[in-house]
Amino acid sequence: MNEKRYADALLDESYREIRHPSGLTIRVLHKDGYKSSFALFATKYGSIDTRIAQPDGSFRAIPEGTAHFLEHKLFESEDLDAFARFAKTGANANAFTSFDMTAYLFSCADRFSENLEILLDFVQSPYFTEETVRKEQGIIGQEIRMYRDSADWEVEFNLLRALYHHHPVRIDIAGTEQTIAEISADLLYDCYRNFYDLHNMVLAVAGNATAEDVLAVADKVLKPAAGKPAVREFVPEPKAPAKTYIVEHMPVRMPSFALGYKEAIRTPERTVKESLCTSVLLDAVAGRSSELYRRLLESGLINTGFDSQYFYGFGYANCEFSGESADPERAAAEIRKAVAAVRQTGIAREDFERARRKLYGRLVMGFNDVESVAVDLVESYFAGADLFERARVCREMTLEDVNARLPHILEDDTAALSVILPADGKEA
- Convert 207-227 to b/e letters by CB count within 10 Å (16 or more is b): bbbebebbbebbeebbeebee
Residue among 286, 318, 322 nearest 152 (CA): 322
Element of type H or E holding 292: helix 291-298
Task: List C-alpha distances in Å: 230 to 70, 196, 353, 413.
Answer: 16, 9, 41, 35
Check if the beta carbon of residue 359 is closer than 8 Å to that of residue 280. Answer: yes
Catalytic hit among 64, 71, 136, 269: 71
Angle between helices 349-366 and 370-382 (to 10 degrees): 110
Beta bridge partners of 97: 102
Task: Give the whole-angstrom CA distance, residue 297 versus residue 352.
Answer: 21
Task: Give the whole-angstrom CA distance, residue 182 versus residue 133.
Answer: 10
Check if the beta carbon of residue 249 is closer than 8 Å to that of residue 421. Answer: yes
Task: Give the whole-angstrom CA distance, residue 120 versus residue 106.
Answer: 11
Task: Give the whole-angstrom CA distance, residue 150 versus residue 4.
Answer: 44
- Residues 6 or more apart in contact with residue 288 via CB below 8 angstroms: none
Q: What is the per-residue DSSP string for 190-229?
A: HHHHHH--GGGEEEEEEES--HHHHHHHHHHHPPP----P
- To the query of whether residue 411 is one of the catalytic residues in this protein, the response is no
Task: Give the whole-angstrom CA distance, residue 159 versus residue 259.
Answer: 7
Task: Give the whole-angstrom CA distance, residue 316 versus residue 237.
Answer: 8
Catalytic amino acids?
A: 71
